[in-house]
A and B are shown apart, each in its own frame.
Chain A
């Protein structure tokens, strides 16, 4: 690794004064108080129960403070770990309890099963829903604990534990760091100038002997001082690298290249779909305008134009004809208004401003088939999610009315922390599928753009259950 052009001696002499050496010295100084504080905090909060959980956000913040120092001083950008996820203990009721329990166990969850009730710990609710949907397991109730789920999640959060581990040993590293970075330098300077101290300050301890040494002998300490000064940057660098390694391993995200590549692929597909989807939506809006309101307005203008001519004083006005033209124009205007209203609603339903529950109530009331609405949305998901949920529900209900032959449908909308589920059940003849180019496929792809999913359970003869699951926040 030694360069051909720069001799090792030269590099050794320059090393103490490089920018990097100063940065590492600075880091050793600044991170020491953080190390002590964080160590004390992680120790004090190492209590089972509320302290353990409650300290999780703070510990993660300490971790990010440490990453911040590393980034600002050592110019090493270590990404943040994924955010704290509330791990719930979910209570699930399903006729397929055995299968769901087995699946959850295979995922490493803690599972308790009693009859058709399964209690699943250590697995996020949306993952449970995913598992069930993948295996066509019908879930009747999925109740993730709210606050309890958060505390459990926080006290088991792997990244908090890793941060705790890091800060547990950080004082050791930080102390060594401080000793080699600051102590070695100070001692080096001291011994390098030892004969001066000896001569002018009277006495000085000779390497811990406690006795003054003769002036001639004191020169023996000069090379020791030089050695300490020269060694300091290298040792500091070594400890810095060691610390960086720990920071990466304990305060950074777990890296799984395969999973990451898969994720990137999914995101790329989802993005492509978003782009196509929005272009297609714009096109269809343009077409709706062109075929609808614009055409109505052209017709309206033609009729009014004719009527205007008939009113010109050159000939006696044919009032019957004029009345009929104006009447036609009036109808065209009313139709244009209706077209525009429908179109505007298709772009953004104003009723959605009041929340999903109101919007879905309106939707259910307008449906061609009687719809029972079960909505449980204590907290509002983000606006984008609400919009997707609304249009999914609208499309699903439209499908029920158009294709299913159903006499009755149920629209469920349930929002639990992290997951919004829209489910439409109908008593029609079944056989629905996400055929390419079909409406259901479009819905599935739109859900996928926000990491949501769509599941269809529609055996021939019915009933049809279509479930759309979306994260609370896009």
Chain B
């Protein structure tokens, strides 16, 4: 059971989120409608996870994201799942740029469509709460396409790109292997190929690998 704070200005979605989370046995300790209330709620309750809509009053631009960054700084133990209506790769890059320290919570960025898919949504929350990463496949695609190192990425094979995209979403090797219907060995081989092509030293941590890749893509 996780203790969760929700920040979302549309009451219907707020209610829907609370319902889904309650259904999964999580405790929604606060559901607020703007960034200031969110920061106050996080400071007061120190939740495990904060689920944050990017666009909130008063300006309806990226208040949620800025609040998320502030929370990351002031309450690093709180995991953050940000979601928005449209793909904004900059937001994802901003979020991932905040390098978590030791014992920090995870971060995730989903589209609202994904939030509407109950299974994927609760999955993402679980991953983020465990200190991992959850990125929307569309966000990952956007980042891959918009990457400055497009020429380097072009050297990857199609399969390697698939693996990279799934890794970027925060999937484990096992999950990637399952998704692509290949053996875990094969996935490991692909990953080491990707790292060598991108010039990144291999690392043992799933999460750090994803961050390394994304830092490379987004920076």
Listed in ascending order, the chain A residues whose CB lies under 8 Å from chain B are 287, 290-291, 294-299, 301-303, 305-306, 308-309, 332, 335
Contact = CB atoms under 8 A, between A and B. Distances in A.
- Among B113, B116, B117, B119, find the residue whose CB has the most chain A CB atoms closer than 10 A: B116
B12 A296 contact: yes
A213 B55 CA distance: 105
B10 interface: yes
A291 B55 CA distance: 10
B10 A302 contact: no
17 contacts: A291-B9, A295-B12, A296-B12, A297-B116, A298-B113, A298-B115, A299-B15, A301-B113, A302-B13, A302-B17, A302-B116, A303-B16, A305-B116, A306-B19, A306-B20, A306-B23, A309-B118
B60 interface: yes
A298 B20 contact: no
What are the 5 A-B residue pairs with the smallest beta carbon separation, nearest first? A301-B116, A305-B118, A295-B10, A302-B16, A299-B12
B33 to A, nearest CB: 11
Interface in B1-45: 9-10, 12-13, 15-17, 19-20, 23
A297 B13 CA distance: 9
A181 B77 CA distance: 98
B99 to A, nearest CB: 31
A309 B15 CA distance: 18
Interface residues of B, number: 20
B119 A305 contact: yes
A332 B15 CA distance: 12
A306 B12 contact: no
A292 to B, nearest CB: 9
Contact of B55 (A290, A299, A302, A332): A290
Given A290-B85, A291-B10, A298-B10, 13 more contacts: A290-B55, A296-B12, A298-B13, A298-B112, A298-B115, A298-B116, A299-B12, A302-B16, A305-B116, A306-B20, A309-B118, A332-B12, A335-B12
Given A290-B55, A290-B85, A306-B23, A298 B119 contact: no
Contacts of B60: 287
Interface of B: 9-10, 12-13, 15-17, 19-20, 23, 55, 60, 85, 112-113, 115-119
A302 B55 CA distance: 19
Contacts of B119: 305, 309
Nearest to A325: B19
Contacts of A308: 118
- Among B13, B15, B17, B119, find the residue whose CB has the most chain A CB atoms closer than 10 A: B13
B140 to A, nearest CB: 21
A55 to B, nearest CB: 62
Contact of B117 (A295, A296, A301, A335): A301
Nearest to A292: B10
A295 to B, nearest CB: 4
A335 to B, nearest CB: 8
B115 A302 contact: yes
Contacts of A303: 16, 19
B123 to A, nearest CB: 12
- Among A290, A294, A295, A302, find the residue whose CB has the most chain B CB atoms closer than 10 A: A302
B117 to A, nearest CB: 6
Contacts of B19: 302-303, 306
Nearest to A290: B85
A39 B75 CA distance: 93
B161 to A, nearest CB: 29
A297 B10 CA distance: 12
B85 A305 contact: no
A301 B115 CA distance: 9
B86 to A, nearest CB: 9
A302 B119 CA distance: 10
Contacts of B112: 294, 298
Contacts of A332: 12
B85 A302 contact: no
Nearest to B17: A302
A315 to B, nearest CB: 13
A83 B207 CA distance: 74
A287 B57 CA distance: 12
Contacts of B16: 298-299, 302-303
Contacts of B12: 295-296, 298-299, 332, 335
